[in-house]
Amino acid sequence: MTALALAGRSLRISSRRPDALIAALMLPVMLMLIFVYFFGGAIDTGTTYVTYVVPGAMLLCAGFGAASTAVSVAEDMTNGVIDRFRSLDIGGIPVLAGHVAASVVRNLISTTLVLAVALAIGFRPQAGPAAFLAAAGLLLTYITAISWLAAALGLLARTPEAAGGFTFLMMFLPYPSSAFVPIETMPGWLHGFADHQPLTPVIESLRALLLAQPAGNAPWVALTWCAGITAAAMALAAVLFRSRTR
């Protein structure tokens, strides 16, 4: 219950920052439109480009949303509110879980907006109910993982500005993956990283599930990555919170 109350607090704070909220919601949509209408005609993916790019756009959207979580955690660590929480006997895990829960809600809203715009410009998923639920579950798992990672980065940073910089990697990772272009079109020296980084199996799984194509073992690889990131981020966050609040 404490985590839910703190999640509500985080969402209320977000609603009071309409500029940041609009940027987090609209920037991924704008990037998707830029890729589809500016670059899509020059990229051969074997299908319509909007069909290819949607899974990557949803993950890019989640990365932007998670960045605000890192900033929010860093702000809490620097403005004295954590001391007030501790005086109420509220531990670190509920505080961080509240931020993560709020991040998941914000990201689900923004990825739904991305999907709605994609449908409006021609994306036509072929998934049945089971495959669609599996895709939604995988996306939720990924959002939870990067939200915990963002919370840990927010604790690692000493200022909100630094926290925003630390999350650059999460927003950059979709680019050297199969999100926007097929990996085989990239320089050969980049193939190893693009094939084996965490986002590629998530993107390939979402693409296969939404388009009713064979997914192979990509979903299991994606879930393994998500579980590992979540476990490592939670452990790191617990250690950092204890260190910062001694």
Tens-digit pLDDT profile for residues 34-78: 888 887 777 878 788 888 999 988 898 888 888 888 888 888 788
Query: Which of 46-55, 95-104, 136-145, 175-184 reaches the highest mean pLDDT?
Result: 136-145
The dihedral formed by the CA atoms of 220, 229, 2 and 240, expressed in degrees to the nearest 10: 170
pTM surpassing 0.85?
Answer: yes
pLDDT (mean) for 173-186: 89
Residue 95 makes CB contacts below 8 A (sequence gap 6+) with 6, 76, 82, 85, 241
The pLDDT score that the predictor gives to residue 145 is 94
Distance CA 100, CA 66 (A): 9
The two three-digit tokens of residue 13, written as one number: 């704070």
Position 231 confidence tier, pLDDT thresholds 50, 70, 90: very high
Helix (H, G, I), strand (E, B) or coil at 46: coil
Residue 225 and residue 200 in contact, taking contact as beta carbons nearer than 8 Å:
no
Residue 51 makes CB contacts below 8 A (sequence gap 6+) with 122, 123, 124, 211
- Higher pLDDT pick, 71 / 143: 143
- The residue type found at 174 is P
The one-character DSSP state at 181 is S
